[in-house]
Amino acid sequence: MRWAVAAVLLLSQGLWLPAMAQADFALLSQDEKMARRFPQPVRVGDLIGLPVLDDQDSTIGCVSDVVRTPDGRVKLIVPYRRWFAGESQPVAVPIETVVILGRHLNALEFPPASFDKAPTFVSTQATPIGRDEIIKIAIGRR
């Protein structure tokens, strides 16, 4: 009988604790989420041209530039075109919202709706980062 009670308690904690961890993760800031995703050094030039995928593995665009804003934030510039729209517009994607998975990036915290709402990036808003400079990017897994 004690064994059955102990098994039920362990099973309920096994189901409950991961759900609590996910709820806690959702409350974290973008910086804290990136820190938990084991950011690794990467050369800026290696990010240029990488495709950015959404959660359905559809290509949103490819990284055309990496810039630093006046407040020190790193942003990836991704040309984005809405369905059946004319020209693509450059969108600044915060580095904290993407993860690298091999030879592509996943926009985990920047869904396609955010691309739709994002303002067009103006190059006077930030300074380009040199291609040989090292920055940190979170790594992801499937």
With bands split at pLDDT 50, 70 and 90, how would you rate the model's confidence at 112?
confident
pLDDT at 19: 47
pTM score above 0.85: no
8 Å CB contact between 51 and 100: no
Phi and psi of 48, rounded to 5°?
A: -65, 130
Mean local confidence (pLDDT), 70-91: 86
pLDDT surpassing 60 at residue 20: no
- Of 35-39, 45-49, 74-78, the one with minimum mean pLDDT is 35-39
CA distance 53 to 30: 18
- Of 5-14, 81-90, 108-117, the one with minimum mean pLDDT is 5-14
CA distance 102 to 25: 24
Sheet bearing 74-80, strands edge to edge: 89-94, 74-80, 65-68, 127-128
